[in-house]
Amino acid sequence: MARGYKYFEAIEKRAGLLGVLIAIMVSLGGLAEITPLYFTAHSIKAPAGVKPYDALRLAGKDVYVREGCYLCHSQMIRSLRAETQRYGNYSIAGESMYDRPFQWGSKRTGPDLARIGGKYSDVWQELHLKAPRSVSPDSNMPGYPWLSQASIDPVEITQKLRVLRLLGDPYTDGDIAGAAAAVKGRTEMQALIAYLQGLGIKNEAAAAAGDPAEGPAP
């Protein structure tokens, strides 16, 4: 037996020591990679034009999240030529700073949506969401016709804005007071289209000036 084994044997025969060492070893990577991001995140300034979602768009974003759109559509234009050619300027960190959870996605069964806003009319979006193959015959996207029947809950949206302000998103008292009125009588379909039509359009200029290599640096 090698001499070092004597010390190692101590770990192999003590469950508590083994457990503590495991906990230390598995914590290092996360601490090194997440902690710096977490603290620099507080110093990110919103790029020009990026504001917290207004009540209707927030409701629409939550419909997008609930339906699981992120499973087939990314919202992250990578800094690669083929991507910027197809989808527009590459995405920067500040553009998704109000996304809880983030919607960058991991799979493109359909195209990226980071800058889909304004590319199609509201009518097209509605027809497409209700019955995708009515406007895009080869699409394999499922239809979401039920969104037209469901309406947004004004009480819940007020509560959502309060929670987001608690988490640090800069909503004013006026935003919260006006939230219920802004979504009253609107359907989930209308909210989702409002969200989609806002995606990326305000940020074109800011994104062109930014450098993704610097990420969330101040």
Partner 1 sequence: MPTAETYNDHVVRLFLLAAAVWGIVGMSVGVYIAAELAWPALNFDIPWLTFSRLRPDHTFGVIFAFGGSALMGCCYYIVQRTGHVRLAFPRLANFTFWGWQTVILMAMISMPLGITQSKEYAEPEWFVDIFLAVVWVSFGVVFFATLARRRIRHIYVANWYFGAFIIAVGLLHIINNLAIPVSLWKSYPIYAGSVDAMVQWWYGHNAVAFFLTAGFLGMMYYFVPRQAQQPLWSYRFSIVNFWALISIYMWAGSHHLMYTALPDWVQSVGMAFSLVLLMPSWGSAANGLLTFNGSWHRLKSDPAAKFMVLALVFYAASTFEGSMMAIKTVNSLTHYTDWTIAHVHSGSIGWVAMITIGSLYAMAPRALGRPAMHSTAAMELHFWMHTVGLLLYVIAMWTAGATEGVMWRATDAHGALKYPFIDSLNAIKPFYAVRWFGGVLVLSGMIVMAWNLWHTAADARARLIKPIPVPIPEPHPIQVPAPLPVPA
Residues in 47-86 at the binding interface with partner 1, rule: CB under 8 A: 62, 65-72, 74, 76, 78-80, 82, 85-86
Residue 120 binds partner 1 (CB under 8 A): no
My answer on whether omega of the bond before 101 falls inside 30° of 0, hence cis, is yes
AA identity, residue 111? P
Question: What is the torsion angle, in degrees rounded to the nearest 10, for the CA atoms of residue 154, residue 159, residue 160 and residue 164?
Answer: 150
The residues in 131-190 that bind partner 1, with binding defined as CB under 8 A, are 132-133, 136, 138-146, 156, 159-160, 163-164, 166-167, 169
Residue located via tokens 């009518």 = 123
DSSP at 203: G
Shortest gap between Cβ of 118 and partner 1 (angstroms)? 18
Shortest gap between Cβ of 186 and partner 1 (angstroms)? 18
DSSP code string of 140-166: -PPP-GGGGT-B--HHHHHHHHHHHHH
Residue 7 binds partner 1 (CB under 8 A): no
SS3 187: strand
| Cα gap 191→22, rounded to integer Å | 47
Give the interface segment with partner 1, choosing from 17-25, 118-126, 173-181, 196-204 (CB under 8 A). 17-25
Cβ proximity to partner 1: between 157 and 193 the closer is 157
The residues in 195-214 that bind partner 1, with binding defined as CB under 8 A, are 212-214
Shortest gap between Cβ of 185 and partner 1 (angstroms)? 21
Shortest gap between Cβ of 40 and partner 1 (angstroms)? 8
